[in-house]
Amino acid sequence: ELKVEQNPLFLSMQEGKNYTIYCNYSTTSDRLYWYRQDPGKSLESLFVLLSNGAVKQEGRLMASLDTKARLSTLHITAAVHDLSATYFCAVGLNNNDMRFGAGTRLTVKP
């Protein structure tokens, strides 16, 4: 059965620091999504990665995909408080199913 593992599950970091969230998955897929969810809110699409080696950047966030290693990373550069949220990766399957990781709850402290 497909497993999507995110780590860490909880991340507390200081403003201005860098960190990486990892998303490992156990089956072949060339479609990986990253979402952000604020408490009590819906999911906001951050990145759609559709091929091996894909790299996308938006502000202080950069996502990459290595389909051979079955690994995606979400790198945070010079964190600010506004980035505090839960971040989910999701792996797309050929039957249009999408499996989510457990989420990484990020807290950025001043």
94 near other proteins (CB under 8 A): yes
- In terms of DSSP H, where are the helices of 1-110? none
Exactly one of 48, 71, 73, 105 binds other proteins (CB under 8 A); which one?
48
Is 109 among the residues that bind other proteins (CB under 8 A)? no
Provide the strand spans (E) within 4-110.
Answer: 4-7, 10-14, 19-25, 32-37, 43-49, 55-58, 61-66, 71-76, 85-92, 98-100, 104-109
Verify binding: residue 43, other proteins, rule CB under 8 A.
yes
Of 29 and 79, which CB lies nearer to other proteins in the complex structure? 29
Burial of 38 (0-12, 13-18, 19+ CB in 10 A): exposed
Nearest CB to other proteins, comparing residues 69 and 102: 102
- Pick one of 39, 42, 68, 110: the residue that binds other proteins (CB under 8 A): 42
We find the least distance from the C-beta atom of residue 67 to other proteins, in angstroms, to be: 14
